[in-house]
Amino acid sequence: MIIDTSREEQRMLRKKKGLTLVEIIVAMAVFAIVIATLLPAFIFVARLNVVSKAGVDITAIAQQEAEKFYEYSRKYKYSEAIVLPEVVSRYSRSGPDDAPVLIHEDTSKHYRIEVYLWNGIWDGVPAPGMTKIRVKVSIYPASFNTHKALPEQIDSILLFKLPTP
């Protein structure tokens, strides 16, 4: 029996060459379909990540501000704390003395801090020496908040040093 070596060699060479053009095109089409179906999920996760990061950042800022006012309450009377140089230089102030709103806007870091203070009376009940504080931080200006991150708010009740009689 005579074996045609050239035909056998051709078959082996074809196996060693790899994939045919049709196989490559089919593989690319399948890959493109998989990517096209997963792309919206990747975009959603990327946007969610940006919103989550913004939320974590403003939560940290709100916590820092609340802690500053806690420190002030440990060291000063209420009337002294709201006129401290670091408070006056950092915040613009509006509202009456017993319920001022302190506002700080940082356009370079894109956030706005609002500190609401209710001194001595809140919810209709007098509370000498006690101050209700609300620290609200939001992304600023609103046009920068493209992903609609919600503002962060921390409420607390502080007991400032009482005036000595």
Those residues of the chain that have pLDDT short of 70 are 1-5, 12-17, 98, 120-129, 141-147, 162-165
pLDDT of residue 94: 85
What does pTM read for this prediction? 0.64
Q: Assess whether the previous peptide bond of 40 is cis (omega < 30° from 0).
A: no
Kindly state the tokens that stand for 15: 């196996």
Contact 84, 160 (CB under 8 A): no
Kindly state the tokens that stand for 20: 């045919």
Kindly state the tokens that stand for 6: 């050239």
Q: Where are the domains of the chain?
A: 19-159
**Position of tokens 């002294």?**
80
- Mean model confidence pLDDT for the chain: 81
